Amino acid sequence: MAPELTLTSLLAMKTDELREKYLSFFETKGHTRVASDVLVPTWDPSVLFTPAGMNQFKDHFLGKVKLDFTRATTCQKCMRTGDIDNVGRTPRHHTFFEMLGNFSFGDYFKDEAIHWAWEFLTDKKWLGLPPETLSVTVYKDDQQAADIWHEKIGVPTSRISYEEEDENFWPASAPSQGPDGVCGPCSEIYYTAPGREALEIWNLVFTQFNRVGDPPDNLRPLPSKNIDTGMGLERTAAALQDVETNFHIDILMPIVQAAAEVCGVKYEYHSENGRRLRRITDHVRACTFAVHENVYPGANKEKYVVKRLLRRAVLDGHQIGLRDPFLCKIVPTVVEMMAGTYPELKETTERVAGVIEKEEANFFATIDGGLNRIEQSFDEMRKENRTTVDGHVAADLYQTFGVPPELFESLAAEHNLAFDWDGYEQAMLEHGEASGKLTHTVMGSKGPIDSLKQVHHKTDFLGYDVTEASATVLGIIAGKAPNDHLCDKMEEIGHEDPVRIVLDKTPFYGESGGQVGDVGKLMGAGFEFDVIDTQKDGELFVHIGHLKSGVMSEGDTVQAAVDTGRRDAIRRAHSATHLLHHALRKHLGDHAQQQGSKVEADWLRFDFTNLSPVTPEQLAAITEDVTSDVATAAEVKWETLPLAEARKQGAMMLFGEKYPDPVRMVSMGPLSAGTNSRELCGGTHLTNTKQVGAFEIISEEGVSAGTRRIVALTGQRAEQQVVETTTALDKTAKLLSCAASQVPEAVTALLAEQRSLKKLLSSGGAASDEPGPKLSSPTDQLSYQQAKITLTEAGRLLSVAPLAVPERVESLLSEVESMKRQLAERDAAGPLSADKLLESATKIGATTVVVAETPGAPQNLMRQLIDQLRAKEDSVAVLLAAREGDEKVTLIAGISKDLQQAKVSAGKWIGPVAKTLGGGGGGRPDMAQAGGKQPEKLPEALEVALKTIKEMIDA
């Protein structure tokens, strides 16, 4: 052998070439090449990201779906964040990576899997690795695999090792520790390049057991055995290209270099910056794919993971010395490197970079704020002479303000302070506990639904064509998970927990694609069942509800009837959703893609991508568009056609949705603009847009950064909304006695009047009669759209919901009225002044005592008068009282400094006075305030005031 020659030829093996070779090799072995599933499989609630190649085949393995093929091969985009701390530090760890795999669903097993793996690795036509560079491991009890490797393939026993269940079993340690369900031994293949350590490149999983309970004898053979293998693309490429880390392979090194350039540093493998650049490379690649699939950084679930990945990478940049967004500049390189296999990335490069840039800027701002908080914390530590940063404090700062502990630590080091990582970890653990845990659904779990799936696979959906049909009861499930169970029959009426019924076919729509499930009735011989919701579990439709009368048994024939009134309302809302989507893209641009939607009876919620709020004018234009689309009476059609054909016709496709092939395409048009709406959609629709009836947008709001939400109504609910809006505006106009169009002006004027009255009252000035703005008589007619904008505008001015405007205006008017009354009262009592008060003063020794009522005086004025009196007289005690309406009295007392020194207190003085009035009060020694609820006792109270101050001064 000439290793140099081999090496040279291997060096030419590019990553893209390896991927292609793998897939075509298994195609020659009868495998169907299946495209990579999405990275964020929203169809699978048990995971946030696709963790392995087998994920998209879960149901295939479990026999829950009808199989179109029994052998498949894929290159799957994957993401794992479990070992996130190791990324960049070790040669192999990634968050985002690609996994090559071949799968058998009850088809071939161990023998073929091992033979083909060997052939692919060693045959000159494929990878052509020298056999002596390969070694394998098997599970200690899997002599069958060991025999195949040794006797059939010819691997010497010296290169076959036996491993424990924690290493060579899937799931790890399943035999002794569980979980129950399908599992099996694995066999790993290692490659040892000249001068390098052995590297695991391929794991063959032989799922052949069903685990039932604890050992012994808990592994039962599966009737149908499966093969699930995984070859790490990056690590195998690294081995073939003879580089020391995955990050140096042909598709990753250019990203590392781009990162180095953007960060303005030189890339060195063994350096802190080297680790940082590799981490940046990994994270920006992961985020590019995630954002491409419309998963934006956010507060929940996968969105949160994306956010955390981005922030980690930004923090690395920050510690390198960057202060402005930079990750976004690496995105084009990522796309360039990955576009060979994933050309769709090119279509969204700009948007992806934009989203990343925004989040980066956001985080730099968070860091800035954090720096101040960290400095404050150092100040406190200096005061208390501590030299170690309290981990709990750091965790608190992180949890509350997002201050990264790494940042805290490095600044602490600069101040020569230690950092308590143990305390930090502990605090974070406590926080995790406090935040609660999420229960994961275990693969291969044995719920009653799963048992049904094994037998029946699917319910036929008839609801596109009919709303009533005869069907057979396949299963009745009662009780709450995990204690739910299948029943042969049920007769209990009035049970509290809903029962779930599975039928062989049904007109009921199961909740999916944002559309809620149908309600209705199942009727059979002598029984009646109320369906309150319909859900889908896999391809089974589950009718949830209550038995109303009779006895229902498995195998019974039922007449299933959907509540058609509600169904029609849902159809209106769903078709209107498509029209709205279409109009949004026309007015805002093609980026206004659906992010999520919910369709109920005559009610719809639509989330879409848009960076800024939609203006009222845009909303009006969008509403008008939809309304005229409705008026156009365009035909609504649906057809089932191949995915590729639908794409060609320009159907809108959404990420994160798993489209079957063929797909169902819903078309409407031609619409008012002459274009058509085409969406892939499984929902129920109208046959003509005219049937939508009325359409009304009732709100537009932000739901997370870069995403807006519109809520709208259709049919009667929309009409009712129109009436309510019109009525509210008319009522407001009447209250303000102005024309509807002038409501905003009138509201502004009213607010101004309220403000100036408030000011007048508190300043003690005289009332002035400013005429309000001249408004025309209430006769003009507004179009509905104008009326809506007008009312919304008024609502904005008053900071209340549009429909709450009349109420708010009414209360404003009455407030203004009462202030005017108060002003008038004060004017009637004549002007108040310190001199005038002095006229009624009495003397107690050297002290001037003023106890008086100051009608209509607000608190502020009373204080001013007291201050004036204190300035005029050397020794003075003042107590003023003013009625507020018929039920309240306000008292304010103040005394001069000499009296305070003589231990006289305004607070103590005012107490008994307030008590006389049925109130209480207090304050500082020099100035006190109190109130009472019985104005009629004011004269008596003033007597008490005089008496009390006399006693205090004399004492």
Binding site for RNA (CB under 7 A): 299-301, 304, 307-308, 311, 362-363, 366, 369, 396, 398-402, 428, 431-432, 434-438, 701-702, 705, 755, 798-800, 860, 863-864, 867, 888, 890, 914, 919-924, 927-933
In terms of phi and psi (left: phi > 0; alpha: psi -120 to 50; beta: otherwise), the region of 478 is: beta
Can you point out the beta strands (E) in 259-346?
A: none
- To the nearest 10 degrees (0 to 180), the angle between helices 805-828 and 743-763 is 30
Q: How far is the CB of 876 from RNA (least distance, A)?
A: 14
CA distance 334 to 584: 31
Q: Where are the alpha helices (DSSP H) in 589-615?
A: none
Q: How far is the CB of 772 from RNA (least distance, A)?
A: 18
Q: What angle do CA 277, 280, 286 make, to 5 degrees?
A: 145
Contact between 562 and 569 under an 8 Å Cβ cutoff? The reply is no
Residue number, 562 or 927, with CB nearest to RNA: 927
Q: How far is the CB of 533 from RNA (least distance, A)?
A: 18
Q: What angle do CA 444, 450, 455 make, to 5 degrees?
A: 120
Q: How far is the CB of 554 from RNA (least distance, A)?
A: 35
Q: How far is the CB of 276 from RNA (least distance, A)?
A: 18
Residue number, 157 or 400, with CB nearest to RNA: 400
Residue number, 643 or 800, with CB nearest to RNA: 800
Q: How far is the CB of 705 from RNA (least distance, A)?
A: 6
Residue number, 70 or 756, with CB nearest to RNA: 756
First to last CA, the chain: 117
* SS3 letters across 93-123: CCCEEEEEEEEEECCCCHHHHHHHHHHHHHC
Q: Which residues contact 947 (CB under 8 A, 6 or more apart)?
A: none
Contact between 563 and 519 under an 8 Å Cβ cutoff? The reply is yes
Q: How far is the CB of 169 from RNA (least distance, A)?
A: 24
Q: How far is the CB of 300 from RNA (least distance, A)?
A: 4
Residue 691 DSSP class: G
Residue 256: CB atoms within 10 Å: 22
Q: How far is the CB of 920 from RNA (least distance, A)?
A: 3
CA distance 875 to 897: 8
Q: How far is the CB of 417 from RNA (least distance, A)?
A: 22
Residue number, 141 or 396, with CB nearest to RNA: 396
- To the nearest 10 degrees (0 to 180), the angle between helices 421-434 and 391-401 is 50
Residue number, 716 or 763, with CB nearest to RNA: 763
Residue number, 227 or 891, with CB nearest to RNA: 891
Q: How far is the CB of 574 from RNA (least distance, A)?
A: 23
Concatenated DSSP letters for 25-77?
A: HHHHTTPEE-PPPPSS-TT-TT-SS--SGGGGGHHHHTT-S--S-SEEEEEEE
Quote the longest CA-to-CA distance of the chain.
123
Q: Which residues contact 227 (CB under 8 A, 6 or more apart)?
A: 102, 103, 104, 107, 108, 109, 110, 112, 113, 204, 205, 206, 207
Q: Report residue 856 as tokens.
A: 């209509």
Q: How far is the CB of 436 from RNA (least distance, A)?
A: 5
The radius of gyration computed from the CA coordinates of the chain, to the nearest angstrom, equals 38
Contact between 91 and 246 under an 8 Å Cβ cutoff? The reply is yes
Q: Which residues contact 329 (CB under 8 A, 6 or more apart)?
A: 258, 262, 353
Residue number, 35 or 438, with CB nearest to RNA: 438
Contact between 367 and 318 under an 8 Å Cβ cutoff? The reply is yes
Residue number, 180 or 884, with CB nearest to RNA: 884
Q: How far is the CB of 927 from RNA (least distance, A)?
A: 6
Q: How far is the CB of 267 from RNA (least distance, A)?
A: 28
Residue number, 14 or 888, with CB nearest to RNA: 888
Residue number, 168 or 362, with CB nearest to RNA: 362
Residue number, 81 or 161, with CB nearest to RNA: 81
Q: How far is the CB of 74 from RNA (least distance, A)?
A: 28
Concatenated DSSP letters for 488-532?
A: SEE---S-SSPEEEEESEESPPPBBTTBPPP-EEEEETTEEEEEE
Residue number, 12 or 438, with CB nearest to RNA: 438
CA distance 559 to 565: 18
Q: How far is the CB of 837 from RNA (least distance, A)?
A: 16
Produce one character per residue of 785-810: b if its CB has 16 or more CB atoms within 10 Å, e if not: bebbbbbbbbbebbeeebbebbbbbe
- To the nearest 10 degrees (0 to 180), the angle between helices 349-383 and 301-320 is 70
CA distance 654 to 681: 10
Produce one character per residue of 548-561: b if its CB has 16 or more CB atoms within 10 Å, e if not: eebebebebebebb
Helix, strand or coil for residue 603? strand
CA distance 262 to 276: 13
